[in-house]
């Protein structure tokens, strides 16, 4: 497994555009073989995403197709405007993978 960690500082008034675009790309990535992603905001206001892929090559193929698309959506443009600063990415190759899906809890407000 390969994991990429992405970090940004965002304009607060544009965060919803960024989140909607991240979700769209993640859903497309799931169809393209990714293991999904999670998006977080830390106490200092930095946004952090963790994306899982079977390999670095699988991730690169997906983004190569995405970048090659001439049909850039309005949503993508608004998401780019949300970014104040993109911090350096971190790319990790799995040594031990003990992640598991969460059990569904009755009455939970989790998506």
DSSP state of 68: T
The average pLDDT across 56-78 equals 81
Flag whether pLDDT at 8 surpasses 70: yes
Q: What is the mean pLDDT of the chain?
A: 88
**CATH code for the domain in which residue 87 is found:** 3.30.70.100
Cβ proximity of 91 and 7 under 8 Å? no
pTM: 0.82
| 55, part of any domain | yes
Q: How far apart are CA 16 and CA 33, in angstroms?
A: 26
Question: Domain residues for 89?
Answer: 2-93
Grade residue 108 by pLDDT with cuts at 50, 70 and 90. very low
In total, how many domains does the chain have?
1
Sequence-ordered alpha helix ranges (H) in 1-111: 15-31, 56-67, 74-82
């Amino acid at each position: 497994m390969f994991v990429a960690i992405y970090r940004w500082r965002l304009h607060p008034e544009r965060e919803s555009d960024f989140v909607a675009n991240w979700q769209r790309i993640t859903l497309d990535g799931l169809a393209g073989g990714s293991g999904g992603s999670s998006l977080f905001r830390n106490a200092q206001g930095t946004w952090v995403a963790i994306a899982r892929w079977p390999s670095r090559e699988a991730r690169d193929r997906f983004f190569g197709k995405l970048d090659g698309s001439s049909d850039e959506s309005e949503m993508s443009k608004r998401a780019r405007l949300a970014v104040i600063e993109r911090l350096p990415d971190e790319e990790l190759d799995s040594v031990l993978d003990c992640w598991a899906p969460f059990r569904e809890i009755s009455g939970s407000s989790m998506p």
